[in-house]
Amino acid sequence: MTEMSFLDGNMLDGPLRELFAVDVSGATGRCENCGVVGPMGTLRVYSHAPGLVGRCPSCAEVMLRLVRSPSWARLDLRGTTFLQVPVPLDQPHPRPL
């Protein structure tokens, strides 16, 4: 019997396209558990499961869970402190007053 394999986080772009206007694999994320900061495309994604589970490449804690039912998608990011997404200046974005 072989060890369960995982996919790299670049595969998240397709499943998350329904939720985000950007490719999440290009975003930078911080692991809530170990604090490592890196591209979400480097997550280890376990897809042979009731949903997608993205684990930190450094400490293996869960950073992301995505469950898709026939009528909704739920993204749980409690293991991710922040997502930093490249946003060019010519796009509207929130500014401090």
Partner 1 sequence: MLSAGPTPRVPLDTWEFVITTETGAEYRWSWSELMALPQETPQVDIHCVTRWSKLGTTWQGVSLDTLLDGVDTDADYVMAHSYGGYTTNLPLEDLRGGRAWVAHTFEGEELPGEHGGPARLLVPHLYFWKSAKWVRGLRLMTTDEPGFWETAGYHDYGDPWREQRYQGD
Tell me whether residue 48 or residue 87 sits nearer to partner 1 (CB atom).
Answer: 48
Q: Does 46 bind partner 1 (CB under 8 A)?
A: yes
DSSP per-residue letters across 49-78: SSSEEEE-TTT--EEEEEEE-SS-EEEE-T
Which of 26, 60, 82, 84 lies at the binding interface for partner 1 (CB under 8 A)?
60
Which of 15, 20, 76, 81 lies at the binding interface for partner 1 (CB under 8 A)?
76
Rounded Cα gap, residues 32 and 56, in angstroms: 9
Binding segment (CB under 8 A) for partner 1, from list 13-21, 24-32, 62-70, 87-95:
62-70
Taking phi first (over 0 means left), then psi (-120 to 50 degrees means alpha), and beta for anything else, what does residue 18 get?
A: alpha
Rounded Cα gap, residues 42 and 58, in angstroms: 10
Q: Which two tokens stand for residue 21?
A: 């206007």
Which of 15, 38, 39, 51 lies at the binding interface for partner 1 (CB under 8 A)?
51
Tell me whether residue 34 or residue 49 sits nearer to partner 1 (CB atom).
Answer: 49
Q: How far is the CB of 11 from partner 1 (least distance, A)?
A: 16
